[in-house]
Amino acid sequence: MPKDKEAGMAEDSGVPKEVERLAAQLAQPRAMRRASVSERWMKCSKTACGCGEQAEARHGPYYSVTWAEAGQTRSRLVSAEQAAVVQQQIEADREFRKAIAAYRKASERWADAQLAEIQDQAASTEAAKKGGSKRRWRRRSARKSGGS
């Protein structure tokens, strides 16, 4: 294998270093969730409370986590402290999905390189069977017109 190809490959395994690095990154356990967090200010049902008529008098903030499950939207209230942790979990999920996309791209480049290697081997085998190497054509200079 040429040295320039070896530079991008991990030793002995044939797996590109980029693919190994991304696989190791994906293998790190992290708490994550696919959801969103929102801050809510709510009205109560008491008639004497001003929250029903004045937006500034509403109760809160309350934090709500929302996610999709089996085709339905689910939601649950969490404390401010929990909302901060949920936000970190959501960010971990975003990073994980980006890493998966990068891993797929790197794996496809690796797969394409394998196909190209097979194609190159087949072409060199075919050239060897024909008993020669590819000719390099040189462009001839334009013919000069002869006198008539």
Is 146 contained in some domain? no
Q: Which residues pair with 10 in a beta bridge?
A: none
For residue 7, is pLDDT > 50? no
Tokens (6 digits) for 30: 């992290």
Q: Which residues contact 31 (CB under 8 A, 6 or more apart)?
A: 89, 92
**7-11, 15-19, 35-39, 49-53 — which is least confidently predicted?**
7-11
Predicted structure pTM score: 0.64
pLDDT in tens, 59-99: 889 999 999 999 999 999 999 999 999 999 999 999 999 99
How far is 38 from 65, CA to CA, in rounded Å? 7
Torsion sign over Cα 33, 35, 37, 42: negative
**In the prediction, which pLDDT does 146 show?**
61
Is 48 contained in some domain? yes
pLDDT-derived band at 139, boundaries 50, 70, 90: low
Across residues 2-18, what is the average pLDDT?
Answer: 62
Longest distance between any two alpha carbons in the chain, whole Å: 115
pLDDT-derived band at 6, boundaries 50, 70, 90: very low
How far is 106 from 20, CA to CA, in rounded Å? 10
138: helix, strand or coil: coil
- Between vectors from CA 103 to CA 98 and to CA 109, what angle results, nearest 5°? 130
Is 90 contained in some domain? yes
Is 7 contained in some domain? no
**DSSP 8-state symbol, 44:** -
**In the prediction, which pLDDT does 51 show?**
81
Name the average pLDDT for the chain: 83
**In the prediction, which pLDDT does 148 show?**
53
Kindly give the pairing relationship between strand 72-78 and strand 36-42.
unpaired
Is 148 contained in some domain? no
Is 36 contained in some domain? yes
Is 10 contained in some domain? no
- Number of domains the chain contains: 1
